[in-house]
Amino acid sequence: MTMNKENMLWMYSMMSTIRRFEEQARRETDAGKLRSIHSSVGQEAVPTGISAHLRDDDFVLGNHRSHHHCIAKGVDLNEMMAELFGKSTGTNNGKGGTMHIADINKGMLGANGVVGSNIPVATGVALSAKVRGTDQVSVVFFGDGASSQGVLHESMNLASIWKLPVLFVCENNRYAESTPFEFTVAGGSVSNRAAGYDIPGVTVDGQSALEVFEVAGEAVGRARRGEGPTLIEAQTYRYGGHFAADNPLAYRSEEEQKYYMDRDCIIQLGAHLIEHGFAGEEDLQKLDEEALAAVAESVRFADASPFPEPEDLLTDVYNNYP
């Protein structure tokens, strides 16, 4: 898929929706409606640029910070907010919460609170697509902290040997909780590790939706053609703390934060759209307003929904899909 006005506007609208959803989820957390969230504010461009190339029948697996992965893959905002609130109308009937959102119909196979755990699952999903003879693609998002887990290396090895249609996408936001990237990742690069498994390893500016879109197009095309996996290191930044109550200034500087916030993914894409005549200020404002309205509606929906009943506790324990 080549870049055009339509998919650039889709990406702008998607990133704006993710940002508003996260900001609202934070307000709801502060109001005590949910316990905590791991916000993806600042990292919106990564799943947006990648999901622009994905179909509903492709697969995404996430981690503990996955609201942006879910929204970009098309999971319904109302059901997501309801899931955050623990309501029975949520994606997982209120029994998963922020870290376990899944929607099989949209190919979102799940966020996951165990760091690194979805990397081998995504590899198995890719194996399934290959065995079934489809051209479906599997994408797993994980952090710089997870990149040193052994499962990434085992998964990249098998995926390379078996030419599996999987994208390993590391969102390098420079920190694992409060630990800087430089303290944990030898060699100063995640993408370099691909060389050991004879697969492409690409570093991309994760604050540029346009660059992520280009890199993802290559990787998804390669996977669909049966040419195997790609490791993408998207260099990005989380604007807030590790989770809602964390104060990031305890371990990083205001100057550093400003450097990344000045290169904000939404502002950058908006400026590009205006500069090249693809949109006017008022068009972008309209998209922002639509995003705000959709998020407000999700809160109304979630508030009006009931909590699960105690007798629902043992339903949905096993999934009989398909």
Q: Which of 107, 145, 165, 201 binds ligand TPP (CB under 6 A)?
A: 145
CA distance 86 to 241: 23
Q: Which structure tokens are listed for 114?
A: 């165990």
Stretch that binds ligand TPP, among 109-117, 158-166, 225-233, 290-298 (CB under 6 A): 109-117
Comparing C-alpha atoms, which of 71, 123, 101, 133 is closest to residue 231? 123
Stretch that binds Mg ion, among 133-141, 172-180, 216-224, 225-233 (CB under 5 A): 172-180
Q: Please, which residue, 116 or 143, has the CB nearer to Mg ion?
A: 143
Q: How many CA atoms lie within 13 A of 315 on its CB side?
A: 9
Residue nearest to Mg ion (CB): 143
- Bridge-based pairing of strands 138-143 and 59-61 is parallel
Stretch that binds Mg ion, among 143-151, 185-193, 253-261, 305-313 (CB under 5 A): 143-151
CA distance 80 to 150: 31
By CB under 6 A, the residues from 173 to 202 that bind ligand TPP are 173, 175-177
Q: Are the C-beta atoms of residues 308 and 93 closer than 8 Å to each other?
A: yes
Residue 237 sits in the site that holds ligand TPP (CB under 6 A) = no
> Which of Mg ion, ligand TPP, none does 264 bind, CB closer than 5 to 8 A by kind?
none
Q: Please, which residue, 117 or 230, has the CB nearer to ligand TPP?
A: 117
Q: Nearest distance from residue 37's CB to ligand TPP, in Å?
A: 12
CA distance 293 to 257: 29
Q: Nearest distance from residue 211's CB to ligand TPP, in Å?
A: 20
Residue 288 sits in the site that holds Mg ion (CB under 5 A) = no
Cβ neighbors of 304 (< 8 A, separation 6 or more) are: none
CA distance 133 to 172: 33
Residues near ligand TPP (CB under 6 A), total = 15
CA distance 186 to 189: 7
Note the residues at the interface with ligand TPP (CB under 6 A): 64-65, 113-115, 142-146, 173, 175-177, 242
Note the residues at the interface with Mg ion (CB under 5 A): 143-144, 173, 176
